[in-house]
Each structure stands twice: as structure tokens, then as C-alpha cells.
Amino acid sequence: MIPRMAFLPALPGGRVSARVLACALLGLLGLLARPARAGEVEFTAAVNSRVVPVDRPFRLTISVAVPDVTKIGFLELPETGSLEVLGTSREESLAFSFGGAGSQYQKFQNTRVTLRPRKQGKVTIGAATLKYDGKLYKTEPIEITVTAARRGGRSGQVSPVPGLPPSFPSIDDWLTRDPTEDLYQAQEIGEDDIFARLEVAPDRAVEGQQITATLLIYSRVGARIAEYRWPKLEDFFTLDRDVSNAKVDEKYIDGERFQYKILDRKALFPLRPGEYTLGAVAVEVEAGNSPFFAAERRTLRTRPVRVKVEPLPAEGRPDDFEAGNVGRYTLSAEVDSAKVGLNQPVTYTLTIRGVGNIQRLRAPELKGLPGFKIFEPTVDLQQPKQGRLAQGSKTFEYVLLPLAAGRLTIPDLPFSFYDPEAGGYRTLHTGEKVIEVVAGGDGAALAAGQPPGREVNLLSDSFKPVRFESALGGYGPPFYRSDWFLPLLALPPGLWLLLLAAAAVRAGLSSQSPRSRARRMAADARRRWRQAARLLAAGQAADFYAELKDALLLAAEARVGAPVHGLPLPEVQARLGQALVPDAIVEALVREVENCDFGRFAPAVSRGDEMSAAHARAQGLMRSLATARVAPPAPRRRRP
């Protein structure tokens, strides 16, 4: 398991951004082209896609815009045929309009139904029915085309606008889609939204030839890669390649735009011929398409890949060929001096550079060289991880000590390897190296006073005898007899007890009972009410109604014992009913909150006497919520 952290942002042209941009643009055009008319009934149905693959959920939205929601008799959902209903949700909103006849407001109700197709073909969603104020309204039927599910992209989609990808929303989607739908509602992420691939090249190779395995991830949602795990690769010599500089790029797959990134890359060198299957690579990701919902953790797996490894050809194989020498190489050899004194060492350097598995490379050996004493070579391996292909150099340094004067020859060394690109064997040669060994005054051995032909101890000046002198002495009394020992010994448990006491005090201060929370909420409500009084005196209508609404909701929270901010008014009404608040007080509270909303969005029509009356009504409602009592239930009569 190799932990790696990576990140793929959501597509800038994907589902979220395209919807928000399209709906904002067409909403602006709609405002310029046709003013809103309060009082009329609007009843529509739309889907977010008319072409969907099998088993991929999509959404049906039924929108109702009426002046008075209480006049809705019923709303009947349409027949969905073979489509599976996964769930429904409903939300309400309020819009204001201003004209010559005064200010009016209209209420909207959206019902969203999540559907999933189970078989291919065409499916018709029937008409939805609305009864409002005694009249019946129906929507138009919608035809859906269900295509085959394909991994890596949606199939059968055609771009609604020429020149744009199929994922671009249609005109119908622009007009009916809520621009905040993708932001505030969790959407299901399908298998074709994010997936991993293992690309292998080549899939046919010879023994010892590099096979490059690249792990990629494709996504059109935001994704964070936690880790990935490769299968066992026991039949290959494996080298990791550096992909830290890999960038996020884009690619179209079956007409869908994806972002992709290289996660990892390995150079695989087969150890023996045969047919092998590279197992699935597991990639742990955290994927999500909305910043307001937790990312979904899932495991992606690549498809297994088969490779075929053929044996090295026997035809034309040199006698000195070693099995690990597969690739493309160059050979060089040199000596540090062509003329030396007797018993003076000479360095012979043999270097092999090229593309291939440098670590398994076998170089020609110097052995049985007449006139020299050969020391074991030092090997310097340089194989960087950058690049797709494994390449580098391997250097062998031999120390040769001439044992006789005259012209001594280092023979030619052949190096044979198999070149997969050329499809044949090649042999390189170092060439002979001639060294002139001088005896006499020019030799280092004579300068040192040693007879010619005698071996020299090259390490005689490198080591010296070890001399160590020390004096023993005392260090005084032991530490446990000092005055600091007992205080230091008691310090850790004392600190631990102090921390326990501080934690107990903190827990006592932070613990609150429901009654204390209710008192705090009631105090906050009164503080907001007083702030509203100051705004009333200053004539700031919009801020006054906003502060007054907060005071009323805080008073409701104090009675209910739970937050109600952000809840629809029917939900607030239901919770107050559960708290046994009288219906008259609840209805008065709802009317006053709606009046505050109207005053916030239409401050110009608010007058000082209306604001003062609202301030007084709010004070009475707050007192009623705090002091309302419920009559005890009547005792049951016992049966004779």
C-alpha cells in the first residue's frame, strides 16, 4: 500500500458550473424579456436530461407558482412507467413583485422526483395534475430515451447546441433547472463519472524488455486520491518512475469531457517468457460534486491487462551474451595514465550508458590479466527516476598494479546486448589499451627505495596505530541523594492531577441544562427586540424587520428547545404545536413572521405607525410564548 495524496478539482465546464452559468444567463434574459406577473398560476414539469444511460439516476422537477398555496386542492404526480422512483423532495419559496397596483407576492413550490431507468428504449413520463381554486391544470408528457450503460462516458447523447459537447445543458434544462440545485443537494456519482485505467505499452515484449505500466484516473467531479495499491508483480523486475510533475489535463471520451491525471508509473522488466495478467490496481478516492456535502469514499479498480513475453531469439546470439543485457547501450573504456612507474597503480574505467535495466546489466570482466594485479572493481550506478523509459549508466573502476616493466596491454573487452527496437543482437568493443611501465629513477618504487618487481603495500601510509590514554576520576554523590530528586520525582504526578482538576472545572462550566439554554435564547430574543426598537427610531425599515423576525424566531426556539432558524414556516408551526403552544399564538406568530419578510423586501412601503404596531405585536407574542400554559388533560372517568 503506497499512500499518495492528489487532487482533481471539479470540471470548470461540468455539471455544476454549466448549470449555474446557463441558468443565470437565461434568468437575466427572462427578466429583460418578460416581467413577472403575480397572481397567475404556473404549472410545469421538466427533467435534467432527456437522454440517460441505464441505471443512471436523473431528476424530474414539477414546479408550481401560485398566489395562495392554501388554495391548492391536490397535486398528483405523473405516471413514470418502467422508471424506478428513488425518492421525492419538496421545497417552497416566496417572490415579491411591485407595480402600479401595489406590491404583491407569489409562492413557489418545487417537487423533485429522482428516477432511475432499468431497461433501454423510450419511456414516457405522464402528465402531472394540479387542482387550484377549483380548476384543473396539467403538464405536458415528457419522453425519455434510455441508452446502454457504458464505462468511461455516457453514450447516445447529442449536443443540444452545435459545436458544444453533449454534457452542455439543453434549452429546456436552462429554463427549468434551479441554478443552486447542484450546490445544495447531494447528487449520486455514477461509475462513469470517475474511474481508473491501467495503460500498458507494449503488450508484447521479449524477455528483459521494458514494459511501461501507467496508472491514470479520469473524473468529471471533484476527487481527492487517498492511496493506491498495486497487485503483486513477482514475474517482473520493477522500477518506479517519477510522476510528481504530472499535470491535470482534459480529454473527451465518447463526447464527454473528463479531467485526468497520471497517478503512478512503473517500468516492468519480464524475468522469463510466458503470458501474464497484470491484476487490478485499487485506487481509494474521495469524490464529491458539491462543497456542501461530505465527499463519498469509494474504491476504484482497473481492468486486468494481459501481456505476452516471448523468449530471446537463439539465432545470432553471441557467446558472451548475458540474459540481463537487453536495451540500447553505448560502451567506453579509458585509463587514467598511459605511462606509469613500476608498482604505481593505474585506474581502468569501464562505462556503459543507455536505455534499459541498468541494475541487472552484466559488464565484461577483467580477469587473468598478465603483468597486472587486479583489485576488485568499485561500481557506480546512476539510474534517475525521471522519464518514461528507464535509463542511466553503470561505471566499473578497476585498480591495476603493474608487476613488471615494459609495454603492458589491456586486451579488448566485448560487450553484447539485445536491442528490442532493432530486433537483433549487437556487440560493442572497448579496444586495446597499452600502458608503458617504466623502471628506474622515474618509477615510484625506486623513489621509495624498494627493489624493482616487488609489490608495494599501497595502504602502508593510510593506517596508524591507535593510542588511547585516559584518567579515571569520581563524579561526586549520586543524583538520587541530591535535594532536587524528590521535587522532580513528584512533579509529573502533580501536573497530571492539576490537568484532571482543570478538565473537571471546564466540564462543569460547559455543561448546560435545557432550562438554561431556554433562558439564554429568551434573553437573546429580548436583546434583538430592543435592537429593533433602536432601528425603529432611526427609521431603518429593512433592518428593523430583519431584527424583529430574529427576535420572534429566538423566542420560538426558547419555547421549542431546538433551533428553528432556516426551517420553513410550516415546519416551525408543526414544532410549536408539538411543544403544546396554543394554535392562536402559533398562527399569530406565523402571520407576524410573514409580515416581517414582506417589510424586509418592501421597506419603501412601510410606515412608522405600521412598524410601531409590529414592534408592539412582537412584544406581546414573545410574552405569550414565554407564559402560555397548557390546560392539564381531563381525568378519565372510571367505568362502573
Q: The CATH number of the domain where 111 resides is what?
A: 2.60.40.740
Same domain, 296 and 336: no
Grid cell 392562536 in the structure block, residue: 584
Grade residue 446 by pLDDT with cuts at 50, 70 and 90: very low
Question: In this prediction, what percent of the chain has a pLDDT beyond 70?
Answer: 75
Contact 145, 53 (CB under 8 A): no
Lowest mean pLDDT among 89-93, 234-238, 381-385, 612-616: 89-93
Mean pLDDT, residues 481-503: 88
Say if 535 falls within a structural domain.
yes
Same domain, 87 and 40: yes
Q: Identify the domain boundary among 83, 118, 145.
A: 145
CATH of residue 600:
1.20.120.330
CA dist 501 and 523 (Å) reads: 32
Same domain, 260 and 302: yes
CB-based burial, 124-147: b 16+ in 10 Å, e otherwise: ebbebbbebeeeebebeebebbbb
pLDDT at 410 exceeding the cut of 50: yes
Residue 526's domain comprises: 514-627
Same domain, 196 and 304: yes
Number of compact structural domains in the chain: 4
Please classify residue 54 by burial: count the beta carbons closer than 10 Å to its beta carbon, then call 0-12 exposed, 13-18 middle and 19+ buried.
Answer: middle
Same domain, 274 and 358: no
Q: What is the pLDDT of residue 26?
A: 46
Residue-wise pLDDT for 312-329, tens only, equals 999 989 988 988 899 999
Q: What is the pLDDT of residue 291?
A: 63
Mean pLDDT, residues 433-442: 76
Q: How far is CA 260 from the centre of its chain?
A: 12
Say if 175 falls within a structural domain.
no
CA dist 391 and 358 (Å) reads: 7
pLDDT at 408 exceeding the cut of 80: yes
User: Residues 6 or more apart from 504 whose CB is under 8 A from it?
Assistant: none
What are residue 200's DSSP bridge partners? Answer: 213
Please classify residue 567 by burial: count the beta carbons closer than 10 Å to its beta carbon, then call 0-12 exposed, 13-18 middle and 19+ buried.
Answer: middle
Residue-wise pLDDT for 229-272, tens only, equals 999 999 999 999 999 898 989 888 877 788 899 999 999 999 99
Question: In the 8-state DSSP scheme, what is residue 249?
Answer: E
Say if 69 falls within a structural domain.
yes
Same domain, 254 and 347: no
Q: Identify the domain boundary among 89, 114, 145.
A: 145
Lowest mean pLDDT among 206-215, 258-267, 462-471, 478-487: 462-471
Same domain, 417 and 305: no
Same domain, 134 and 206: no
pLDDT at 176 exceeding the cut of 60: no
What are residue 380's DSSP bridge partners? Answer: 395
**Beta-carbon-side half-sphere exposure of residue 143 (alpha carbons within 13 Å):** 3
Q: Identify the domain boundary among 115, 145, 175.
A: 145
pLDDT at 442 exceeding the cut of 60: no
CA dist 94 and 104 (Å) reads: 11
What are residue 429's DSSP bridge partners? Answer: 414
Mean pLDDT, residues 441-462: 45
CA dist 321 and 419 (Å) reads: 12
Same domain, 304 and 358: no
Q: What is the pLDDT of residue 366?
A: 84
Residue 420's φ and ψ, nearest 5 degrees, are -65, -35
Same domain, 271 and 196: yes
Say if 332 falls within a structural domain.
yes
Contact 378, 364 (CB under 8 A): no
Residue-wise pLDDT for 53-88, tens only, equals 888 888 899 988 888 777 888 888 999 888 888 888
Q: Is 13 helix (H, G, I), strand (E, B) or coil?
A: coil
CA dist 121 and 142 (Å) reads: 14
Question: Which residue, 88, 79, 176, 84, is CA-closest to 125?
Answer: 79
Q: How does DSSP assign 280-337, residue by residue?
A: PPEEEEEEES-TTSPPEEEEEEPPPEEEEEEPPP-TT--TT--TT-BEEEEEEEEES-
What global pTM score does this model have?
0.47
Say if 284 falls within a structural domain.
yes
Question: Which residue, 173, 139, 144, 171, is CA-closest to 156?
Answer: 144
Same domain, 141 and 229: no
Say if 101 falls within a structural domain.
yes
Cβ neighbours around 70 below 10 Å, total: 7
Lowest mean pLDDT among 194-203, 340-349, 455-464: 455-464
pLDDT at 14 exceeding the cut of 50: no
Averaged confidence pLDDT in the chain: 78
pLDDT at 506 exceeding the cut of 80: no
Cβ neighbours around 60 below 10 Å, total: 23
CATH of residue 255:
2.60.40
Same domain, 58 and 86: yes
